[in-house]
Amino acid sequence: MASRTTRASASPLFVPRKSDRRTARAARHQFAAARDQARHAARPAARPTAPGLDPELRATYPAAGRPGPASARGGRLKLPAHRMTTATASGAYPFLAEGGLGAQGIYIGRDVHAEAAFTYDPFALYGRLDGFTNPNILLAGIIGMGKSALAKSLAVRAVAFGYRIYVPCDPKGEWTVVAQELGGQTIALGPGLPGRLNPLDAPARPYGVSEEDWITEVRKRRLLLLGSLAKTVLGRELHPMEHTALDVALDQVVAYAEANGTTPLLGEVAYVLGSPERLDAALGELSGRLGHAAEDLAHALRRLVHGDLAGMFDAPSTVAFDPSAPMLSIDLSRLGGAGDDTALVLAMTCASAWMESALADPSGGRRWVIYDEAWRVMRHVALLERMQSQWKLSRGLGIANLMVIHRLSDLLAAGDAGSRGRALAEGLLTDCSTRIIYRQEADQLASATALLGLTGVETQAVSALTKGRGLWKVAGRSFITQHLLHSRERELFDTDARMGAITRP
């Protein structure tokens, strides 16, 4: 006999209208139970549990997911839109810091935003980082913010990577102790000191360069140096006749030195310039005119021989260049107290020329050349021309030039807008793929922003940087880095020791 399908009946749930409250409540409970019974009867039978499966491990919800509108299934979930300004969003959702420049390189310190180690090596970044076109570096910061400590720590740590360090001009004598600690060499120049450097020394000819080409290159460098010295002392550009006189005088001195197996000297060039008969004899067509045109040149170069710089650059070099030394610095601190900045600048130029000529061999390995207190040469166009030529040769010679100044406005002191001096100074900045900016005063922010193209956030950060913290702009990428020093480095690089000393009676 076929079984009948059980149906839920609601007939017993109907109660008279005038029933009491208890009867109505019981009827509602019965109605809910009948509804649940009908719902379960309409569902398909559950799948049998797989044999051996623990019933306690069954899914909490069916395969279709949790039922109800809260399941967020079916694409029906609608959340209210939340709108905010970018100023609010920048605080609610901070930007993500990038991963830095990689782990290869010299350890600098801590990346403030990424909370990771920050390393830097211009030679490792060249060719690997897009937009990194040269290894030159600009370091700017006001006094007391730690830029000098950064330059010295870069030098010390670079030696561990096999690089050699050269400081062609040390106006304060701060690099002497660093060179001594590294086992390097220091050449002290000044009135009464025995050290002599001949800026007209000819370096060894690099491998692969013909003798004729090298003679032409050495002559060009010597003429550029002599012209720079003369223009710095005279404070003007040289006239065409003066250029001719300088060429003739140098050629005569070089010919005489080669005939006698000696080296040309600045004093000999000044003597020929002061001898009209020798200049007139060299050029018959200009006889009687060339000697007169060279009078100012003779007096300008005489300062290096008989003036306040006598005894430093007017004799053969007493120190030979040692390419195997880890560090070499030239101490010019004896020239800083006279109050005449031109004398120090001339000495810096001669010392730099001597060292740069020794570094002309591209097979000499990778080297750092640090120009400390470079702001002093910004007011002299002739010296900027020499520095620019050295900047252009950095890649071919394997040299990373580091220029240290106080303010970005030092670059603007080279001349008025549109002048050649300003163009040369801005060109040096352009040829630096790395710009390290320590704290700048409020009145210097405008020039820093204009020269470096800083954003509003970067400008605000530069004005609030603390000691040892700087903005690194490397090939267009920006980092805020906290420079970290070892205790021995902090003791070695302390330039504020005298300020902190207490004198007791």
User: With respect to CATH, is domain 106-188+333-495 assigned 3.40.50.300?
Assistant: yes
Whole-number pLDDT of residue 279:
78
Percentage above 90 pLDDT, the chain? 15
Whole-number pLDDT of residue 497:
55
DSSP string, 220-255: HHHHHHHHHHHHHHHTSPPPHHHHHHHHHHHHHHHH
Round the average pLDDT of the chain to a whole number and report it.
81
Whole-number pLDDT of residue 62:
63
Rounded to whole angstroms, the Cα distance separating 174 from 2 reads 111
| DSSP3 helix / strand / coil % (the chain, rounded to 5) | 45, 10, 45
Whole-number pLDDT of residue 123:
92
Closest CA to 343 of 312, 381, 317, 319: 312
| pLDDT classification of 501: cutoffs 50, 70, 90 | very low
Hey, what are 459's tokens?
Answer: 């400008």
CA 277 to mean position of chain CA atoms: 52
| pLDDT classification of 150: cutoffs 50, 70, 90 | very high
Domain boundaries, the chain: 106-188+333-495
**What is the sign of the dihedral through the CA atoms of 316, 174, 119 and 134?**
negative
| Half-sphere exposure (Cβ direction) of 232: Cα atoms closer than 13 Å | 30
pLDDT digits (tens, 9 = 90+) for 259-280: 998 889 988 998 888 888 777 7
Q: Compare 239 and 69 and report the one with higher pLDDT.
A: 239
pLDDT digits (tens, 9 = 90+) for 166-186: 998 888 888 999 999 999 988
- Whether the pLDDT of residue 120 is over 80: the answer is yes
pLDDT digits (tens, 9 = 90+) for 455-484: 888 888 888 899 999 999 998 888 999 999
pLDDT digits (tens, 9 = 90+) for 295-344: 888 888 888 888 777 888 888 888 877 878 899 998 888 876 555 677 77
**What DSSP character marks residue 443?**
G
> What would the mean pLDDT of 370-391 be, rounded to a whole number?
81
Whole-number pLDDT of residue 481:
92
Whole-number pLDDT of residue 92:
66
pLDDT digits (tens, 9 = 90+) for 439-459: 988 888 888 888 888 888 888
Lowest pLDDT segment from 51-55, 131-135, 161-165: 51-55
pLDDT digits (tens, 9 = 90+) for 191-247: 778 888 888 888 777 777 888 888 898 899 889 889 888 888 888 888 888 888 898
Which residues make beta-bridge pairs with 137? 402, 434
Whole-number pLDDT of residue 58:
58
Closest CA to 462 of 140, 111, 75: 140
